[in-house]
Amino acid sequence: MSTEMEDLDAFRARARAFATANLRPAKRRLTVGLLRNARTDEEELAEVAREREVQRMLFDADLAGICVPTTYGGQGLSPAHQRVLNEELSDREYPERFQSPTFAPILAVLLEFGSEEQKLRHVPAILKGDEIWMQFLSEPSGGSDVAAALTTAVRDGDEWVLNGSKVWTTGAWWSDWGLCLARTNWDVPKHRGLTVFLLPIDREGIEVHRIEMLNGSKEFCQEFLSDVRVPDADRVGEVDQGWTVGTRWMVHERMGKNSPFVTVPVGNTGTEGASTPVHAIAAKAGRTDDPRAQDLVGEAQMLELVGDALKRRVGKGIMTRTMSDQSSAVIRLFAGRAMVRKTTIAFDLAGATGAAWIDDDDDLVEVGNDYLMRQISCIGGGTTEMAANVISERVLGMPRERTLDKDVPFRDVPRVAPH
Ligand SMILES: Cc1cc2nc3c(=O)[nH]c(=O)nc-3n(C[C@H](O)[C@H](O)[C@H](O)COP(=O)(O)OP(=O)(O)OC[C@H]3O[C@@H](n4cnc5c(N)ncnc54)[C@H](O)[C@@H]3O)c2cc1C
């Protein structure tokens, strides 16, 4: 195989031909759509199956894992090639459920910290659409302070035995593997006693319970781990050094759609913000001449443009090492707040139809749902408050927040439900 990187124009032609011949038009949908009660389980499973199929088609066409090294089944190309693919997939279906968290942060973490054997086993399987991964991070005791994990792994010969509970994993019931942060040492301060493991979700001892939300959605899951046995070969990184992995894991998570491993078709409103562009909502609501509506449309457009520029600027800064990798928190904070504002603007523009609609209202029916779900963008993937902390403390070097558990063995840290 030639070591020369494929020319961008040739790559574009190849990607375009593939998309035209194989991919269906995109269905309009928000990421938070995963948490709507709009589909039956059968429909959800059929969508998951189709996304696995599309991922496999991309793999067979040498269009999967654009920035993943060829050794692990990827294309070994550049972020510029990934951007071209994003453009050529515009308004086409794509394997949305694979992007987060399977490609980023999990595939990124595997590439950075996985053993050679783990990478060879899992990365090609992910790229072929055979493995969908979930993050086993948040626990019932809290999600922001990830390093305070209570789920415990105890060594038993060549195996580990895991007990505890993880929660808020979206879609764990149709996923294959989990990347799990667990406590392996209670006698050292919290950040020094963690280890990361690979868990097949159907392993004996893992019970996946679906959480029913007020709107009827059952996509969020809670997992109960009872004496789950994990071979030491499925440990990622060194024992008790899980926070080294965890810190980078959070960076990759905050990069989100800006990660070079993620495919996000350009112009696919289903992934970027309100379900329908706000100018279209203003038009449907008959408000294009209304000066107040024009102000709101302008504001939404500004947020869109600033968000795009920020992603490019910070992404480049991190890649070229002119910015700290912790700067991914800037993108995360802006994206969360901008999403809330954009969905609020859409709701305002839609007028009464945003709150009560008939089927003929078509696109506008989603506006009220988007508005009700808007806060999700400030919570999922770590809260915007935590992103603000990272920016002040780790990017700008301001004093660290006062904590009472830093130098104390984790066992002695007071907690509501003692272990
Ligand atoms: C759509 C969605 C998908 C998700 N998917 C997953 C998943 O796949 N896997 C997974 O493990 N988790 C997942 N989560 C859970 C998510 O990571 C947590 O909800 C989030 O990290 C916050 O944790 P918490 O809900 O326990 O809130 P808490 O940690 O209890 O925080 C409560 C509030 O206090 C604030 N707060 C806490 N500490 C501080 C501080 N030091 N400074 C300032 N404010 C603070 C928080 O910002 C928040 O507003 C998902 C959540 C959502 C909404």
CATH of the domain at 191: 2.40.110.10
The answer to whether the CB of 142 is under 6 A from ligand 1 is yes
Question: Domain for residue 264, yes or no?
Answer: no
pLDDT for the residue numbered 273: 46
Any domain includes 198: yes
Q: State the pLDDT at residue 271.
A: 38
Whether residue 79 is found in the same domain as residue 176: no
Atom 23 of ligand 1 has which residue's CA nearest to it? 143
Same domain, 204 and 308: no
Find out whether 31 and 219 touch, Cβ atoms under 8 Å. no
Specify whether 285 is located in the same domain as 365. Answer: yes
Of 131, 165, 195, the domain-final residue: 131
**C-alpha 138 to ligand 1 mean position (Å):** 7
| Ligand 1 atom having least distance to the Cα of 138 | 11
Q: What type of residue sits at position 258?
A: N
Q: Which domain covers residue 139, as residue numbers? A: 134-250
- Domain check: are 294 and 200 in the same one? no
Whether residue 192 lies inside any domain: the answer is yes
Domain count, the chain: 3
Q: Which of 88, 115, 131 is the last residue of a domain?
A: 131
Cβ-based neighbour number of residue 1 at 10 Å = 5
What is the Å distance from ligand 1's center to 166 Cα? 12
CATH of the domain at 317: 1.20.140.10
What would the pLDDT profile of 255-267 be if each residue is shown by its tens digit?
888 889 999 898 6
Distance 225 CA to ligand 1 centre (A): 20
CA of 383 relative to ligand 1 center, distance in Å: 5
Give the residue, by CA position, lying nearest to ligand 1 atom 4. 380
pLDDT in tens, the chain (419 residues): 456 899 999 999 999 999 999 999 987 654 445 566 667 899 999 999 999 999 999 999 999 999 999 999 999 999 999 999 999 999 899 999 999 999 999 999 999 999 999 999 999 999 999 999 999 999 999 899 999 999 999 999 999 999 999 999 989 999 999 999 999 999 999 999 999 999 999 999 999 999 998 878 889 999 999 999 999 999 999 999 999 999 999 999 988 888 899 998 986 544 344 457 888 889 988 999 999 999 999 999 999 999 989 988 998 898 899 999 999 999 999 999 999 999 999 999 998 888 887 766 666 777 888 888 889 999 988 999 999 999 999 999 999 998 888 889 999 998 876 44
Q: Are residues 365 and 382 in the same domain?
A: yes
Q: Are residues 292 and 387 in the same domain?
A: yes
Q: For residues 138 and 95, state if they share a domain.
A: no
Question: Which tens digit of pLDDT belongs to each residue from 286-333?
Answer: 999 999 999 999 999 999 999 989 988 998 898 899 999 999 999 999
Please give the torsion angle defined by the CA atoms of residues 380, 123, 63 and 377, in that order, rounded to the nearest 10 degrees.
Answer: 0
Q: Is 294 in the pocket of ligand 1 (CB under 6 A)?
A: no
pTM for this predicted structure: 0.92
| The pLDDT value given to residue 361 | 67
- How far, in Å, CA of 107 to CA of 252, rounded? 10
Q: Looking at the structure, do residues 221 and 297 belong to the same domain, yes or no?
A: no
pLDDT at 20: 96
* Predicted local distance difference test score (pLDDT) of residue 30: 44
**CA dist., res. 406 & res. 247, Å (int):** 16
Same domain flag for 306 and 380: yes
Closest by Cα among 335, 316, 305, 389 to 80: 316
Contact 175, 132 (CB under 8 A): yes
Rounded to 5 degrees, φ, ψ at 91 are 60, 20
Distance separating alpha carbons of residues 46 and 174, to the nearest angstrom: 11
Query: To which H or E segment does residue 377 belong?
Result: none
Nearest atom within ligand 1 for CA of residue 135 = 9
